[in-house]
Chain A
Amino acid sequence: MISTLLTAVPTDSDWINFDVPTLINTFWSTTFDGLTFGAIYALVALGYTLVYGVLNLINFAHSEVFIMGCYAVFFTLSFLGFGPSAPNLGFGQILLNLLLALLAAIVASAVTAFLVERLAYRPLRKRNAPRLVYLITAIGASFVIQYLIFWQRGPLPEPALTMFLPTPIFEVFGTIIDSQQIIIVVAAVIMMVFVDQFIRRSRTGRGIRAVAQDPDTATLMGVNKEKIIITTFIIGGILAGAAALFYVMKIPSGVQYNGGFILGIKAFAAAVLGGIGNVRGALLGGLLLGLIGNYGQILLGSSQWTDVVAFVVLVLVLLVRPQGILGTSLGRSKA
C-alpha cells in the first residue's frame, strides 16, 4: 500500500524547482527591482496602516482606491497622447505630463477614499456597529467599486502606456540602475518621510495619533474625530494615488478592474510585516516584502510566485511575531 502510494505521489521536481544559479547571477538586479516594487507596496501599505491605526479596521476598499488612481493615470496619459511606445519628448515635457497624471491620480484616489468613508463607514459609525459588520461592509464596498469599473471598462486590461524609456543612470555591483527605479524609490521615500514628519509634528498629525490611541478621550480633549478620520482616509488616498502612478510606470499593462486586489493583499502583508499602525513599519515592511517577493519569483521561476511568497510571509509573521518587526506605535496594540 505504502509503496504504491509513494510511486503515485509525484516527485519533488514536478512540484517546485529551486533555481539557485539564476538567483545568484541576477542577485543585484533582482534586489533593485524588488526595492522598486517594495516602494510601491509601502505607499499602499501606509494607507492600510493609517486607517487601521485610527479606526482599527482593515479597509478592504483601499485596493480599489488604488486602482481608481491607476485608471486616472491611464485616462490622463491617453488624453495627453501617450501610447504603447514611448513618446519622443524632452525632459521638461515628460515631467510636466507625469505631474499632471500624478495630480489626477491623487484626486481620483482621494475622492474615492472620501466617498467610501462617507457612504459606507460613516453610517456604521453613527450606529456604533460591531467590528464584523464593518469588515463585511468594507469587503462589500471593495466589491462594488471593482464591479462598477468592470461594468464600465470590461474584463480586459487597458492597453499599455509607456511614459518614458528608462535610461541608465549609474552602475552598482555591475548592475545598471535606471531612471525609473530611481524616480520610484526616491519619490516614494520622500513622500513617506513627509507623511511620517506630518504625523509626528503637525497639529493634525497629533490629532491622528490621539484618535489612534483613544478616540473617546481624544474627543473629550477637543479633537474633532470625524475630521481626523476623513483626513486619514484622504492621506491614504493621496499616497495610493502616487503609488498608482509608479505602478503604471513600472507595469504599464497592469490597469485592470481587479488589478488592485492582489496588490492590496501584498500591501497589507507589508503593513503587518512592518507592524500595522506604524508609519515607518509600512516603509520597512514594503521594501522587505518587495525584496522577498522578487527573490522568491526568481528562485521559483514564475512571477506569480511573488503573490504566494507574500502570502506565506504574512502567515509566518502572524505566527511568529504578530505585532510586526517594529511593533505598533500609532494605534493601540491589541493582538
Chain B
Amino acid sequence: MSENPIPNVFSKDATRKPWFSNWSEKWAAMPRQKQWLYMIIIVVAAYLLPVINPPILSTEPGNDFPLALFTMAVYALVAVGLNVVIGYAGLLDLGYIAFFAVGSYTAAMLTSPDSPFFKVPYLWTIPLAVVVAMIVGVILGIPTLRLRGDYLAIVTLGFGEIIRILATLIPAMKGQVGFQNVGRPPGVGADGIPLFANSNGTPWYWLTLTILIIVMLLAGNLERSRVGRSWIAIREDEDAAETMGVPTFKYKVWAFAIGAGVGGMSGALFAGQVGFVNNQKFDVVTSILFVAAVVLGGVGNKVGAVFGGALVAYIPLRFTAIAEFKYLIFGFALVLIMIYRSQGLIPAKHRLLAYGQSAYAKVRAGTQKKPAPAAEKEA
C-alpha cells in the first residue's frame, strides 16, 4: 500500500501497484542536483538521437528515422497539450485534431502562395496558430463547459469531424486541392538546399523538441500554480471545488484554451514539415489516437504524456507489419487500460500542495497511516 500515490480520479483502486513505481519512488528520493543531472543527460540524448540513429531503436527501412522522430515529437507535444485538458482539468476533448487542423490551416493560409491571404514569415505563424486555436477553443468551450463534461466530449467529437467537412465545403479552404509549399523557417545549408527541407527531419525534430521542452516547463509551472491546483480540484470534484471558491467555469475555459493552443502549435509545426495541407490529413480517428496516447502514458502526468505520444507514433513506424492494425491495437489498449489500469503506464504523482517535496512527503506519510479512502459514490 505504501508505494501508491494519493488516489485520484484515475487511480482509485489503490491496491494495485503501478508498473514503474520503483522508478518514480527512486526519482522522488533523489536530491535535486542529481535529478537535474539525469534530466540533462536525457535531454542531450534526445537531441542526439537522429545523429546516432541507434540500430535497434531505428525505424524499419522506408521510414526515415529523423522524420519518425519528428512525428514522435509532434505527437508528444500534442499529448502534453491534451494532457492539460484531460489530465489536469478532467475534461474529455475527443476532437483535439480540430485544433491541430486549425493550427495547420493557419500556418498554410498565411505562408502558402496558393492562399489569397496576406503572408507572414513561417516562424510567426506558430504563435499566430496558438492564438487562433485558442480563440476557437474559447468559442467552443463557452457553450459546453458550463454543462457537465459529457457534452464537451460529444461537441468536440463533432467539431473534429466538422472541421474536415468545412475544409471541403468552404472554397477558400481549398478542400482536397489544399495548399502547397507551406513556408519553412529561414536558413540554407552548405549545398544550397534549405536547412528545413521537407525531407530533412533532423532540424525539424530539434525545433519541435525545443518547443516541447519549453511547453513542458510551462505546463509544469502551471501545474504547480494556483491554476494547476484549481484544475486538479475541478477534476477531483467540481461541486466541491466550486463550493471552496474556485471559479470552475473560468479555469475550465482556460484549460481548454491552453490545450487548444498547444494543439494549434503542433499543427503549425506539422504543416511546416509536410509542406502541404489539405482536408485529408485531419480525421477524428487520429484524435482518438491522441487520447490513447495520453491515457497510455498516464493521465495527468506530462512525462507520461510525452512517453505515450512518442509510443503511439513510434510503434506503427517501427513495426510496419502491425501498422495496419494500429487503430485496432490502440482502441483495445484504451478500453483495457481504462478497465484494468486507469492510471496508465507512468502514473501521475500528485503534489497537490505544491509546496515542494518536503510537504509532499509529509502528506504521503499522513495518508499511509489512514486506510485508503473508500471509492466515492458516483454523483
Q: Which residues of B lie under 8 Å from residue A136 when comparing CB positions? A: 92, 291, 295, 334, 338
Q: How far is the CA of A304 from the CA of B148 in the complex (A)?
A: 29
Question: In angstroms, how far is the closest chain A Cβ from the Cβ of B379?
Answer: 8
**Contact: A315 with B334, CB < 8 Å?**
no
Given contacts A15-B171, A127-B13, contact A265 B154 (CB under 8 A): yes
Q: Which residues of B lie under 8 Å from residue A5 when comparing CB positions? A: 118
**Contact: A318 with B116, CB < 8 Å?**
no
**Contact: B288 with A137, CB < 8 Å?**
no
Tell me which of A133, A304, A319 contacts B338 (CB under 8 A).
Answer: A133
Tell me which of B140, B166, B285, B335 contacts A137 (CB under 8 A).
Answer: B335
Task: Give me the interface of A with B, judged by CB distance under 8 Å.
Answer: 4-5, 8-10, 14-16, 56-58, 60, 120, 123-124, 127-133, 135-137, 139-141, 143-144, 146-148, 150-151, 216, 261-262, 265, 268-269, 272, 300, 302, 304-305, 307-308, 310-311, 314-316, 318-319, 322, 334-335
**Contact: A308 with B169, CB < 8 Å?**
yes
Q: Does B43 contact A (CB under 8 A)?
A: no
Question: In angstroms, how far is the closest chain A Cβ from the Cβ of B312?
Answer: 13
**Contact: B12 with A137, CB < 8 Å?**
no
User: A-side binding surface: helix, strand, loop or mixed?
Assistant: helix
Tell me which of B90, B154, B334 contacts A143 (CB under 8 A).
Answer: B334
Given contacts A135-B150, A151-B328, contact A128 B338 (CB under 8 A): no
Question: In angstroms, how far is the closest chain B Cβ from the Cβ of A134?
Answer: 8
Q: Which residues of A lie under 8 Å from residue B338 when comparing CB positions? A: 124, 129, 133, 136-137, 140
Q: Which residues of B lie under 8 Å from residue A269 when comparing CB positions? A: 158
Q: How far is the CA of A324 from the CA of B208 in the complex (A)?
A: 44
Tell me which of A16, A58, A272, A304 contacts B153 (CB under 8 A).
Answer: A58
Q: How far is the CA of A139 from the CA of B342 in the complex (A)?
A: 15
CB pairs A–B below 8 angstroms (8 shown): A57-B150, A58-B150, A120-B335, A132-B235, A139-B334, A265-B161, A314-B155, A335-B148
Task: Count residues of B near A (Cβ-Cβ below 8 Å).
Answer: 59
Q: Which residues of A lie under 8 Å from residue B146 when comparing CB positions? A: 322
**Contact: B284 with A261, CB < 8 Å?**
yes
Q: Does B244 contact A (CB under 8 A)?
A: no
Q: Does B117 contact A (CB under 8 A)?
A: yes
Q: Which residues of B lie under 8 Å from residue A322 when comparing CB positions? A: 146-147, 151
Question: In angstroms, how far is the closest chain B Cβ from the Cβ of A198?
Answer: 26
**Contact: B165 with A308, CB < 8 Å?**
yes
Tell me which of B143, B150, B166 contacts A319 (CB under 8 A).
Answer: B143
Q: Does B370 contact A (CB under 8 A)?
A: no
**Known contacts A15-B170, A127-B375, A308-B162; 7 further A-B pairs (Cβ under 8 A):** A124-B339, A127-B12, A130-B10, A132-B9, A132-B92, A265-B154, A265-B157
Q: Does B159 contact A (CB under 8 A)?
A: yes
Q: Does B331 contact A (CB under 8 A)?
A: yes
**Contact: B331 with A131, CB < 8 Å?**
no
Q: Which residues of A lie under 8 Å from residue B144 when comparing CB positions? A: 315, 318
Q: Does B323 contact A (CB under 8 A)?
A: no
Q: Which residues of B lie under 8 Å from residue A307 when comparing CB positions? A: 161-162, 165
**Contact: A137 with B13, CB < 8 Å?**
no
Q: How far is the CA of A311 from the CA of B339 in the complex (A)?
A: 31
Q: Does B378 contact A (CB under 8 A)?
A: yes
Question: In angstroms, how far is the closest chain A Cβ from the Cβ of B111?
Answer: 14
Tell me which of A16, A132, A314, A335 contacts B170 (CB under 8 A).
Answer: A16
Q: Does B258 contact A (CB under 8 A)?
A: no
Q: Which residues of A lie under 8 Å from residue B36 when comparing CB positions? A: none
Question: In angstroms, how far is the closest chain B Cβ from the Cβ of A113?
Answer: 16
**Contact: A58 with B154, CB < 8 Å?**
yes
User: B-side binding surface: helix, strand, loop or mixed?
Assistant: helix
* Nearest A residue (CB) for B324: A151
Q: How far is the CA of A133 from the CA of B171 in the complex (A)?
A: 40
The A/B interface has a contact count, at CB < 8 Å, of 157
Question: In angstroms, how far is the closest chain A Cβ from the Cβ of B120?
Answer: 12
Q: Which 8 A-B pairs have the closest CB atoms?
A: A140-B334, A143-B331, A319-B143, A140-B335, A144-B331, A147-B328, A137-B338, A147-B327
* Nearest A residue (CB) for B327: A147
Question: In angstroms, how far is the closest chain B Cβ from the Cβ of A53?
Answer: 13
**Contact: B172 with A14, CB < 8 Å?**
yes
Q: Does B32 contact A (CB under 8 A)?
A: no
Q: How far is the CA of A143 from the CA of B286 in the complex (A)?
A: 11
Tell me which of B92, B140, B325, B335 contacts A135 (CB under 8 A).
Answer: B92
* Nearest B residue (CB) for A121: B339
* Nearest B residue (CB) for A119: B335
**Contact: B295 with A314, CB < 8 Å?**
no
* Nearest B residue (CB) for A269: B158
* Nearest B residue (CB) for A215: B378
* Nearest A residue (CB) for B115: A8
Q: Which residues of A lie under 8 Å from residue B331 when comparing CB positions? A: 140, 143-144, 146-147
* Nearest A residue (CB) for B157: A265
Q: Which residues of A lie under 8 Å from residue B159 when comparing CB positions? A: 311
Q: How far is the CA of A150 from the CA of B161 in the complex (A)?
A: 19
Q: How far is the CA of A120 from the CA of B332 in the complex (A)?
A: 11
**Contact: B169 with A304, CB < 8 Å?**
yes
Q: How far is the CA of A262 from the CA of B165 in the complex (A)?
A: 11
* Nearest B residue (CB) for A4: B118
Q: How far is the CA of A310 from the CA of B154 in the complex (A)?
A: 12
Q: Which residues of A lie under 8 Å from residue B158 when comparing CB positions? A: 265, 269, 310-311, 314
**Contact: B117 with A8, CB < 8 Å?**
yes
Given contacts A15-B170, A124-B338, A137-B334, contact A143 B327 (CB under 8 A): yes
Q: Which residues of B lie under 8 Å from residue A335 when comparing CB positions? A: 147-148
* Nearest B residue (CB) for A301: B169
Q: Which residues of A lie under 8 Å from residue B140 when comparing CB positions? A: 315
Q: How far is the CA of A133 from the CA of B144 in the complex (A)?
A: 19
Q: Which residues of A lie under 8 Å from residue B161 when comparing CB positions? A: 261-262, 265, 307
Q: Does B168 contact A (CB under 8 A)?
A: yes
